[in-house]
Structure 1
Amino acid sequence: MNIIKDFLLQLTLTITPVFIYYTFITEKIKSDKSRKVLFSIIWGISILLCMSFPVSFGQNARLDLRIIPLLFGSLYGGLWPSIFLSALIIFYRLHFGISIGFYNTVLVLILSLPVILIFQKSFSRSKRDKRVKIAVSLSFYYSLFGLTIFIILRGFSKNYLMVQMIELIFAVIVTYFFTILIETIREIHNLRVEMQNTERLRVISELTSVFAHEIRNPMQATRGFLQLLNDPDLPLNKKEYIKISIEELDRANEIINDFLSFGKPSVNNDEKVDVGYQLRRVVNIIQSYSLHHNVKIHTDINEDCWMYANHQKLNQSFINILKNAIESMPNGGIVWITCTSTDDGYIKITIQDQGIGMTKKQIDRLGSPFYSLKESGTGLGMMVSFQIVRSFKGKIQVNSEKDRGTEFIILLPRIS
């Protein structure tokens, strides 16, 4: 029973770093390279913990579940993480002295790691079910190979064989459940990204007709001025007509650029972003939509409100909230938008409307999936906005009274 307890401790030491990574870190790291480095470090910590508290039995015989972090680090990370983790195992095992166990470790790694790397490319291209089969098979192969080398170097013993079989069973079972857990988390993360892109396309489809009308206006004005320029009896203000035509074309081009920028699939890299500038772009995108609903937008946006963020996702959250504010005023009204820097290191964006407002119960449910106050609403837009703001380590506060309007206060971490 003590051996079983030791293996359960090994299981805890293996799963804890992984749980910490997927719970607190994976959503905050956007760069794939940084994520891979941090992932390798986490698996390395898991290996060190497993090797520091091994299952000891017989004469200086030691076993642990280092295969789990090594296997997943290699399958999900690729060549360099696998080399890093293998070197870590060898050097840390050397710390305990050169013995039969050290030779056993080196031999198993030399003969098993190439096989894992051969299957790594197939693993990365496969779907979930096949990935589970590959991971479990490699875990069984590694453990069985380690058992064979162990018997060759130490000789056959019934007690040794029993402990080795327990280690093999534990390794295979833990690999099976770990693979399913990791694949499930990855699927949930991908679904979030797809949901954000789907919501963006839905908003685009709703704004398209208004955009077409807004673009048509400067085009018609320009066409009219060009017709006037063709008139031989044109008065002396020809330059003024040309200037207005160019301005109208530039305005149409700006609207198209903002619209296309909003529609692009978002990338994961964060960059230094001027929130005030992005907020003005959002107002430019939504301006025609607001006029179509007889809603005026008043802004008071300060300069130099900088933060690290993905500007496409940031704009998406602003557009979702601003669009809801406009649609909450069926009879028209005013939306006030402010952007200022606070003394406690935040950028404070306020979006306030004169709409139908919400009760305390409705505010508490705001941001929940499929909860919307609109008859045709899905609630996903507001949920996506909340998720985006939180991913930037920001906060959203909502103040509202029934039939008195709603105020959204968005707090985002500012950089100097």
Structure 2
Amino acid sequence: MSIIKDFLLQLAFMVIPIFIYFTFITEKVESTKKKTVIMSVLWGISILFCMSFPVSFGQNARLELRIIPLLLGTLYGGFWSGIFLSALIIFFRLYFGISLGFYNTVLVLLFALPVILFFQKSFASSKKEKRVKIAVGLSLYYCLIGLTLFCMLRGFSIDYFKVQIIHLLFVVAATWFFTVLYEAIREIHQLRSEMQNTEKLKVISELASVFAHEIRNPMQVTRGFLQLLNEPDLPKKKKEYIHLSIEELDRANEIINDFLSFGKPSINNIERIDVGYQLQRVVNMIQSYSLSHNVEIKTDFYNNGWIHANPQKLNQLLINILKNAIESMRDGGIVWITSCSTADGYIKITIKDQGIGMTKEQIDRLGSPFYTLKESGTGLGMMVSFQIVRSFKGKIQVASEKGKGTEFIILLPQIT
């Protein structure tokens, strides 16, 4: 009964960091780096508790589940989180004295940590089911390494072997459970964030539909009278003022157009479209704009890639992203536009630039209401672009690095 109690205590040490992170950290801390640091500290505390209150099996056999916080902390936190947690394990184990157990701990980490770090990037980019398999596989590998080194250092003993097998099975089962739990809670949190964004967008949509037309009418009247006032004999200064006023009215009108596009997106006029042909048309339309910014556009289009979409909305989506790519390269550069067919039934459109790039936090906020990186931007163009992709039942992915450029990947369902 005491052993079961000790194992349940070990499990509690795993639950507490997950609970604290998703309850108090994710919504209050915006910076991804800060979240990673806090989560690493929480997993570190979990490791310390696991090692301080091990499960005792009679004759000096001590078992604990430190592998689980090490594994989850490394897979979700990345390279430096793994290094920090491994160092913490080594130094805390050193506190108990140098013995065969200490050498066993160091050797297991030397063999296991590089493998865990090797699979970390694959884990981060995988779907939920594959993540669970990777985590379980790595925990099994860690335990087998530990069992092998344990037998080599201490000699084979049937009693110790039985204890290690029990430990292995328990660790693998616990890793599966906590990975599934972590993924489920994260999924719920993402769904809640999406629902909150949806509510915000719904409010904006309703406001746009109600006010946009009423605002546009007096603006058009004002613009017309300003044009009438712009007589040839006016002083140069007044002509400049009128010209600036008209320009600002036109810019305000473009913002209202974006509002209308967002508030009442057109889902009619869906046609069967050859993506390669449509991409070439968009490139032709924006070619002069790119040349004026000293930007070269390189293309590689997939032939006979068909989708169901509204051609005008598809053009708007592509032009919005291409303009952002061009404007991000202040000293000129190259924009690559490619399309291809994927094995899972999508047409993949890739737009890659050599611009200023974005941080992880900026990428996460793309498509949010009024979020923009341009001094004179409104954020509505990108917000509308994300909505257009969703209306086509597609996906949009963004990869970027500060100072090295940005890559937009648009996945649209392929038809035959």
Settle same-fold status: TM greater than 0.5.
yes
Assess if the C-alpha contact under 8 Å between 1:74 and 1:116 holds in 2. Answer: yes
Partner of 2:212: 211
Partner AA of 1:47 in structure 2: I
1:160 aligns with 2:164: no
Match runs of 1:8-407 below 5 Å: 8-57=8-57, 59-209=59-209, 210-230=211-231, 250=248, 253=251
Q: Distance in 2 between the 1:259 and 1:48 partners?
A: 58
Q: Distance in 2 between the 1:254 and 1:227 partners?
A: 20
Partner AA of 2:6 in structure 1: D
Partner AA of 1:72 in structure 2: L
Structure 1 residues not aligned, in runs of 5+? 265-309, 317-416
Q: Distance in 1 between the 2:232 and 2:82 partners?
A: 76
Deviations 1:359-405 (A, max 9, x none): xxxxxxxxxxxxxxxxxxxxxxxxxxxxxxxxxxxxxxxxxxxxxxx
- Shift of the 228–238 alpha-carbon distance from structure 1 to 2, 3 Å rule, reads farther
Deviations 1:272-298 (A, max 9, x none): xxxxxxxxxxxxxxxxxxxxxxxxxxx
Deviations 1:151-184 (A, max 9, x none): 2211222221222122112211111111111111
Partner AA of 1:69 in structure 2: P
Structure 2 residues not aligned, in runs of 5+? 263-364, 372-416
Q: Distance in 1 between the 2:215 and 2:134 partners?
A: 55
- Report the secondary structure of 2:156's partner residue: coil
Partner AA of 1:27 in structure 2: E
Partner of 2:308: none
Assess if the C-alpha contact under 8 Å between 2:108 and 2:149 holds in 1. Answer: yes
Per-residue deviation, 1:63: 1.6
Q: Distance in 2 between the 1:3 and 1:258 partners?
A: 68
Q: Distance in 1 between the 2:154 and 2:256 partners?
A: 70
- Shift of the 25–204 alpha-carbon distance from structure 1 to 2, 3 Å rule, reads closer
Identity of aligned residues (%): 57
Partner AA of 1:176 in structure 2: W
- Shift of the 93–255 alpha-carbon distance from structure 1 to 2, 3 Å rule, reads farther
Deviates more, 1:156-165 or 1:34-43: 156-165
Assess if the C-alpha contact under 8 Å between 2:47 and 2:70 holds in 1. Answer: yes
- Shift of the 24–155 alpha-carbon distance from structure 1 to 2, 3 Å rule, reads same
Per-residue deviation, 1:124: 0.5
Partner AA of 2:184 in structure 1: T
- Shift of the 105–192 alpha-carbon distance from structure 1 to 2, 3 Å rule, reads same
Larger Rg: 1
**Under a length normalisation based on structure 1, what TM-score does the superposition of the two structures give?**
0.57
Q: Distance in 2 between the 1:70 and 1:121 partners?
A: 16
- Report the secondary structure of 1:46's partner residue: helix
Assess if the C-alpha contact under 8 Å between 1:225 and 1:241 holds in 2. Answer: no
- Shift of the 94–231 alpha-carbon distance from structure 1 to 2, 3 Å rule, reads closer
Partner of 1:323: none
Q: Distance in 2 between the 1:167 and 1:152 partners?
A: 18
Aligned residues: 267
Q: Distance in 2 between the 1:259 and 1:101 partners?
A: 69
Q: Distance in 2 between the 1:190 and 1:40 partners?
A: 21
- Shift of the 229–250 alpha-carbon distance from structure 1 to 2, 3 Å rule, reads closer
Per-residue deviation, 1:136: 0.8
Partner AA of 1:66 in structure 2: R
Partner of 2:396: none
Partner of 2:388: none
Q: Indicate the RMSD between aligned Cα atoms, in angstroms.
A: 3.4
Partner AA of 1:38 in structure 2: I
Partner AA of 2:177 in structure 1: F
Assess if the C-alpha contact under 8 Å between 1:140 and 1:172 holds in 2. Answer: yes
- Report the secondary structure of 2:62's partner residue: strand
Assess if the C-alpha contact under 8 Å between 2:18 and 2:182 holds in 1. Answer: no
Deviates more, 1:212-221 or 1:242-251: 242-251
Assess if the C-alpha contact under 8 Å between 2:7 and 2:55 holds in 1. Answer: yes
Q: Distance in 2 between the 1:51 and 1:205 partners?
A: 54
Deviates more, 1:160-169 or 1:76-85: 160-169
- Shift of the 151–34 alpha-carbon distance from structure 1 to 2, 3 Å rule, reads same
**Under a length normalisation based on structure 2, what TM-score does the superposition of the two structures give?**
0.57
- Shift of the 143–258 alpha-carbon distance from structure 1 to 2, 3 Å rule, reads farther
